[in-house]
Amino acid sequence: MCRSVLFALLGLSLGLVCGFPSPLEEVEDGGKHWVLIVAGSNGWYNYRHQADACHAYQIVHRNGIPDEQIVVMMYDDLANNKMNPTPGIVINRPNGTDVYKGVPKDYTGEDVTPDNFLAVLKGDAAAVKGGSGKVLQSGPNDHVFVYFTDHGAPGILAFPSDDLNVKDLQDAIKYMHSNKKYKEMVFYIEACESGSMMSDLPSDVDVYATTAANAHESSYACYYDEKRDTYLGDWYSVNWMEDSDATLAHMKVVAFQGQSKGGAAAAPLALPPVLNPDLIPGPDVPLAILKRKMMASNDIRVARKLLLEIENHYKVREKMADTMNLVVQRVTGNSFKAQEVLNEKVELTQHQCYQSALTHFKNTCFNWHKAEFEYALRHLYALVNLCERGYSTDSIQQAMDSVCDPKGFVPQPY
């Protein structure tokens, strides 16, 4: 018997088969399938997240779950983006088919928020702001499937302009469990350090989870497309989705992803193998795209401009690392202790301290919701370590105030 909370990186098939109820059990209990799909990013260089989300919709839709029971949240700035060489079409693998057509636009643009996500998940229509107003109306016999894809850091998942923290997510799950909002619920989370979002979940709430990484690792992008100059997918996500496309009929996960009408699983799709997945850690994607574009350019002026962008990117990274180093030194009082803090990775338990510290860092030093500062997410573990060592929120915030430029760091133009 598998544990109620199941974590896996890429060994998904084994975990899903041993952990989830059978389709027959789902039919007999009279319940429904409810699905919440979220892509939390925007921008062309983050193409892969919304492509993942669109593909996930096609899987559950193809397997018979009606749109009335599916909620999709995504910024929706890809299909008609000026950088899209195939207007109106989004793909999730090399030479892939369109995964955008038919996707519901329940919450798009600035309506893709943590508050709306939590309201939709809990079925709280009154708390929703903007969008279609659709929420999960699940009950005690229902199966709920939640798929989230975007950037992350210890204890948070990023949305376009805000963050979802682990405490709010787990409080929502506990609320749903105590109010009988599901029979069983599954989370697939594609984000760096995504394991931190489920590590403290109680074992008796009938929630299963797989994540793209543990609490200390990056997730991986894949499938670089030279025609689009971006990555088409995320490795964890395309693994479970392409596996679902090809073998869904043989996997018990259909209890959550649905079955095609008539009771039989949808016919498997024949997917040609991708020989080179072009794996790259998620945080390195913007830099990798710039390097690939420069190497592919035959125009010396374009290549020089891209080189300047690359140099500037490295300067911003260096500035963020130096800033966090100085903040930690100010808090700890000496460089030796600072290096200890910067070199360790510990589990997050001091949620209030950490949430206050990361919010202040975002507002005072580097707002990672701006594309040029996205890499700041990689330094938040230092704030976890400071809080876990017992340093006060006031001392951490004062250090930030003394180190960070109140006018903000401005990258050099190119």
Going from the C-alpha of 324 to that of each of 350, 365, 376, the distances in angstroms are 19, 9, 9
> What is the pLDDT confidence band of residue 255, given thresholds at 50, 70 and 90?
low
Residue among 195, 142, 138, 160 nearest 46 (CA): 160
33, 49, 151, 313: the active-site residue: 151
Rounded average pLDDT over 338-342: 96
Taking only the tens place, the pLDDT of each residue in 344-388 is 999 999 999 999 999 999 999 999 999 999 999 999 999 999 999
Enter the pTM of the model.
0.89
Q: Which residue has the tokens 């010396």?
A: 300
Q: How far apart are CA 190 and CA 10, in angstroms?
A: 11
φ/ψ of 11, rounded to 5, equals -80, 60
List, in order, residues 6 or more apart from 291 with CB less than 8 Å away: 310
Asked if 6 contacts 198 with a C-beta cutoff of 8 angstroms, the reply is no
Tell me: pLDDT of 265 over 50.
no
What pLDDT does residue 57 have? 97
Helix axes 335-343, 381-388, angle to 10 degrees: 120
404 among known catalytic residues: no
What pLDDT does residue 200 have? 82
> What is the pLDDT confidence band of residue 247, given thresholds at 50, 70 and 90?
low
Residue among 18, 279, 44, 40 nearest 163 (CA): 40
Tell me: pLDDT of 10 over 70.
no
33, 55, 192, 360: the active-site residue: 192
Q: Count how many residues are written for the chain.
A: 414
177 among known catalytic residues: no
